[in-house]
């Protein structure tokens, strides 16, 4: 063969290689946008159902009873987060990293261990809350809260385990399972049960009835989650084995994401290490993330607890509704996070720095483009939105504006917190979260006695804004690129990657 033919053949090989690489990158970006779009639609549906849930509670109960209902629910969600010991993001990262390696044995073992540990810790916390309900109600909150806590305390168990199931589905990039067991499922069951009771002539305005229905709704959703995971994991395992055995699986650009990049699988010795996951390994992975999760929930729920302890119970209802409306803005961030978190973990695992950078930039642009119009709407029409829940809720318009400003910073920064965690910088994220939480707690304790529920809203907004700014700076420092579209040049490859 002549030298010219050899050069031409070499050039064709390089062109084909470049074409395949560009096609793979475009496919990953398009796949991320498609899955994010699906997640966004599901999140919008979840937000609509959540809005209906808040509306039904505010309308069917009187103002004070609604405050007791929301205060009890907030306390349960906060304690359930505490009992999960940081396993939320740990299991998402674990599943996302092991799926390309076809390590289903390790995933199943992780599921069993996390469920056993979650069941033990949540059961203990439920008993503690039930036994201390009298003290908490009379010394910290309001005496009327005790009957609510006696019933809703057992809901800590299904709330904790249901969220863990949602995170396992997130690792599989199954958005339906994530949204269903994160909040959509229990809310749907509650609304359906209340509708049946209302049509049957029952008095749904009773606080005790609403609390019982909500508690049972969480248990029903958990039972469905357990069955769904069993069926889904078996199906994914069979599909993964078939895809691996198929000769054309590796060349098919449309093949399932769970078998992507299988050529980068670790050696048999490494897989054996993953098969031997035990409780010590699970705790070593999750406990560093525990602080991040608890601090994040403190940012969201601590203001409600201080309002419940300091302000009138009617103001608790107003603040809760305003906070839940403001959190609807973050549905964009959560929908992007639901697919970007496992994507970040997988790309980091495979040392694909440039693709990680592009995915982070894409995530930030999507959150900003979809979240900013929603935030502006809330900022312009807060009184109109709160009026749906009753005229007495309109007094929280300024609180809703303050909370919405904090969410603007959230949607503008993208998935920066999860980007740090999924790339192994959870300690950095923990330090940021802990520092901003200390500031938020101090501000809340200072401003609530002075400004009431508006003080809690201002403290929340400042905490979220400062936390997002610091996370953006640390992504640049640790990963070598700006995650908000400021840096278009190829990223440097730091030693941590």
Vertex 471 angle, CA 468 and 473, to 5°:
110
Could you say which DSSP state residue 153 is in? G
Give the C-alpha separation, 285 to 294, whole Å. 15
pLDDT of residue 73 exceeding 80: yes
pLDDT of residue 217: 93
Give 386: exposed, middle or buried? Use CB within 10 Å, 0-12, 13-18, 19+.
buried
Give the C-alpha separation, 45 to 49, whole Å. 6
Give the C-alpha separation, 55 to 324, whole Å. 11
Length of the chain: 497
Q: The tokens 């939480």 sit on which residue?
A: 437
The pLDDT > 70 percentage for the chain reads 75
Give the C-alpha separation, 260 to 101, whole Å. 9
List phi, psi (to 5°) of 247.
-65, -30
pLDDT of residue 156: 93
List phi, psi (to 5°) of 424.
90, 10
C-beta of residue 131 within 8 angstroms of C-beta of residue 180 = no
Residue scoring higher pLDDT (390 or 483): 390
pLDDT of residue 92 exceeding 50: yes
Distance from first CA to last CA of the chain, Å, rounded? Answer: 43
C-beta of residue 218 within 8 angstroms of C-beta of residue 153 = no
pLDDT digits over 108-134, tens only? Answer: 787 888 888 889 999 999 999 999 988
For residue 432, give every residue at least 6 positions away whose Cβ sits within 8 Å of its Cβ, in sequence order, or none. 467, 470, 471, 474
For residue 439, give every residue at least 6 positions away whose Cβ sits within 8 Å of its Cβ, in sequence order, or none. 462, 463, 466
Give the C-alpha separation, 102 to 106, whole Å. 9
pLDDT digits over 436-475, tens only? Answer: 888 888 888 888 888 888 888 898 888 888 888 888 888 8
Q: Hey, what are 393's tokens?
A: 């809720």
C-beta of residue 67 within 8 angstroms of C-beta of residue 145 = no
Residue scoring higher pLDDT (234 or 33): 234
Give the C-alpha separation, 17 to 27, whole Å. 15
Q: Hey, what are 211's tokens?
A: 């609390």
pLDDT of residue 33: 56
C-beta of residue 324 within 8 angstroms of C-beta of residue 56 = no
Ramachandran area for residue 102 (φ above 0: left; ψ -120 to 50: alpha; else beta) = left
As a whole number, the mean pLDDT across the chain is 75
How many Cα atoms occupy the beta-carbon half-sphere of 143 within 13 Å? 0
Our measurement of the distance from residue 223's CA atom to the centroid of its chain's CA atoms, rounded to an integer in Å, reads 21
pTM of structure: 0.67
> Torsion over CA of 62, 64, 69 and 71, rounded to 10 degrees?
150
C-beta of residue 484 within 8 angstroms of C-beta of residue 414 = yes
pLDDT of residue 13: 52
pLDDT of residue 218: 93
pLDDT of residue 339: 67
Q: Which of 272, 271, 243, 235 is nearest to 259 (CA)?
A: 243
Q: Which of 149, 157, 158 is nearest to 185 (CA)?
A: 158
pLDDT of residue 485 exceeding 90: no
C-beta of residue 167 within 8 angstroms of C-beta of residue 92 = yes
Q: Which of 451, 486, 384, 392 is nearest to 63 (CA)?
A: 392
pLDDT digits over 356-414, tens only? Answer: 777 777 777 777 777 788 888 888 888 888 888 888 888 888 888 988 888 888 777 77
List phi, psi (to 5°) of 47.
-65, -40
Vertex 43 angle, CA 38 and 49, to 5°:
135
Give the C-alpha separation, 6 to 11, whole Å. 9
C-beta of residue 74 within 8 angstroms of C-beta of residue 325 = no
Could you say which DSSP state residue 136 is in? I
pLDDT of residue 257 exceeding 50: no
Give the C-alpha separation, 276 to 427, whole Å. 25
pLDDT of residue 342: 67
pLDDT of residue 361: 76
Q: Which of 184-198, 218-232, 263-277, 414-428 has the lowest mean pLDDT?
A: 263-277
pLDDT of residue 219: 94
């Amino acid at each position: 063969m002549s030298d010219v033919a050899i050069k031409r053949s070499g050039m064709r090989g390089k062109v084909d290689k470049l074409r395949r690489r560009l096609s793979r990158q475009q496919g990953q970006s398009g796949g991320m946008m498609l899955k994010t779009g699906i997640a966004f639609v599901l999140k919008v549906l979840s937000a609509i159902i959540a809005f209906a849930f808040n509306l039904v509670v505010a309308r069917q109960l009187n103002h004070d009873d609604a405050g007791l209902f929301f205060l009890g629910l907030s306390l349960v969600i906060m304690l359930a987060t505490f009992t999960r010991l940081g396993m939320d993001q740990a299991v998402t990262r674990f599943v996302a990293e092991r799926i390309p390696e076809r390590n289903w044995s390790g995933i199943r073992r992780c599921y069993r261990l996390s469920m056993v540990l979650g069941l033990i810790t949540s059961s203990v916390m439920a008993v503690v809350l039930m036994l201390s309900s009298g003290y908490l109600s009379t010394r910290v909150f309001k005496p009327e809260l005790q009957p609510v806590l006696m019933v809703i305390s057992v809901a800590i168990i299904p709330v904790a385990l249901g969220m863990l199931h949602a995170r396992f589905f997130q690792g599989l990039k199954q958005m339906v399972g994530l949204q269903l067991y994160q909040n959509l499922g229990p809310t749907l069951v509650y609304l359906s049960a209340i509708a049946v009771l209302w049509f049957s002539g029952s008095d749904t305005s009773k606080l005790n009835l609403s609390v019982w229905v909500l508690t049972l709704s969480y248990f029903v959703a958990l039972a469905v989650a357990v069955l769904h995971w069993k069926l889904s994991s078996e199906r994914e395992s069979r599909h993964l084995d078939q895809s691996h055995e198929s000769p054309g699986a590796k060349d098919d650009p449309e093949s399932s994401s769970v078998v992507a990049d299988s050529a980068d699988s670790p050696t048999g010795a490494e897989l054996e290490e993953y098969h031997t996951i035990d409780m010590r390994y699970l705790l070593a992975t999750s406990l560093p993330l525990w602080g991040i999760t608890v601090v994040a929930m403190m940012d969201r729920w601590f203001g409600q607890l201080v309002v419940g302890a300091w302000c009138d119970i009617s103001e608790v209802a107003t603040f809760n509704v305003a906070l839940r409306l403001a959190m609807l803005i973050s549905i964009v961030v959560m929908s992007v996070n639901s697919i970007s978190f496992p994507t970040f973990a997988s790309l980091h695992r495979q040392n694909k720095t440039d693709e990680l950078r592009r995915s982070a930039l894409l995530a930030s642009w999507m959150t900003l483009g979809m979240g900013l119009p929603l935030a502006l709407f809330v900022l312009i029409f807060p009184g109109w939105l709160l009026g749906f829940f009753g005229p007495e809720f309109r007094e929280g318009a300024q609180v809703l504006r303050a909370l919405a400003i904090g969410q603007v910073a959230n949607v503008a920064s993208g998935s920066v917190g999860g980007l740090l965690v999924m790339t192994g910088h959870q300690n950095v994220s923990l330090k940021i979260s802990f520092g901003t939480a200390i500031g938020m707690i101090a501000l809340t304790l200072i401003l609530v006695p002075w400004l009431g529920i508006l003080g809690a809203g201002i403290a929340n907004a400042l905490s979220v804004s400062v936390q997002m700014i610091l996370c953006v700076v640390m992504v640049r420092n640790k990963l070598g690129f700006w995650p908000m579209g400021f840096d278009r040049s190829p990223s440097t490859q730091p030693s941590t990657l």
